Copies of this chain bind each other. A is one copy, B any other.
Amino acid sequence: MINIAILGFGTIGSGVAEVVEKNQEEIKKVLGENLHVKYILDIRDLPGVVKDIDTIINDPDIKVICETMGGKEPAYTYTHLALERGISVCTSNKELVDAHGVELSAIAREHNCSYLFEASVGGGIPLLRTIREACGHEKISKIAGILNGTCNYILTNMKAGKEFDAALKEAQENGYAERNPAADIEGHDTARKIAILASLVSGKKISYEQVDCEGITNVTAEDFAEAEAKGMSIKLLGVYDAENNSVLVAPHLVPKESALYNVNGVFNGVMIHGNMVDDLMFYGRGAGKCPTASAVVSDVIECVKNIGRNINNDFADLEPANVNKAPEKPLGQKFRTL
């Protein structure tokens, strides 16, 4: 039996417990052993939770920790402490990966454990590992991704005729947008995710602050009507362009022929262009309790299979990137075209 701990028992953290519980049999088939959640750490007074990280990291039974707290602190301090003891950490925390992912990966490598973050980009879609392993031998010239389910839900409803404000309100009523939706609709969430993908592919650390970022608040129902007349839709894309060495978040016209055209509602889709494999696209739920937790658990399994060994060691070596400004929009156009 392999003992793990969950830090932060919110949506994703409780999802991890659920995946481990419901899919015990499948996990055992893959690992040859059961996974067991020995500790849950949370600041709230929930029954059975621990509040002190030392209890967890001082327990030699604990092999892997799932950090599903979000935010920089105390997630950073806890992750740091765990990795220094040789305990692998799997996370959905894109903010922390963006800010300290390189440093934490280096600490993991030094202590023969791993810092993995599949769930930080694209929710349940197996994306980072696929890029790292299945596509490691490709020259990737472009990544274009629908990476924020909230924006995609709003834009999908605008395509059906709604104005922005009404579509946002509906998203809030259905629990797909937060009361303060700025991080989503202004593109910052997408920027964090495309920055992580671009870092992985470019071999340089591109940070969130280096992304040219425009959200969806200026998109109108009229824009959709015009796009439709040209056989296009409008999608918020995070785009990494290797040739131009630029990273951008902005609403784009997406032609009907594109595999991203039909990625609707809260789903995410990420297109990758390799010089040999040509276009690939990966589609799935980019958020939500169980899909995101499933990605965390896939990382836990990877860590358990490799106890005593560091994986994902590329990330530890990334030097800060210099990036160029993204190309301007075509003259007289409101949007770029994918």
A: which residues have CB within 8 A of B? 18-19, 22-23, 26-27, 29-30, 118, 124-126, 129-130, 133-139, 203, 256-257, 259, 261-264, 267, 274-285, 288, 290-291, 293-295, 297-298, 301-302
Contacts and interface: CB of A to CB of B under 8 A. Distances in A.
A284 B276 contact: no
| Copy total for this chain | 2
Question: Is the contact region of chain A dominated by helix, strand, or loop, or is it mixed?
Answer: mixed
Contacts of A261: 262
Contact of A277 (B22, B133, B294): B294
A84 to B, nearest CB: 27
12 contacts: A19-B276, A22-B276, A124-B277, A124-B280, A125-B280, A133-B298, A136-B298, A137-B298, A137-B301, A259-B267, A278-B291, A279-B285
Contact of A135 (B126, B135, B274, B281): B126
Given A124-B278, A276-B293, 9 more contacts: A22-B275, A23-B276, A30-B137, A126-B134, A129-B133, A137-B294, A277-B284, A278-B290, A279-B285
Given A284-B277, A285-B277, A285-B278, A138 B23 contact: yes
A127 B195 CA distance: 25
A284 B293 contact: no
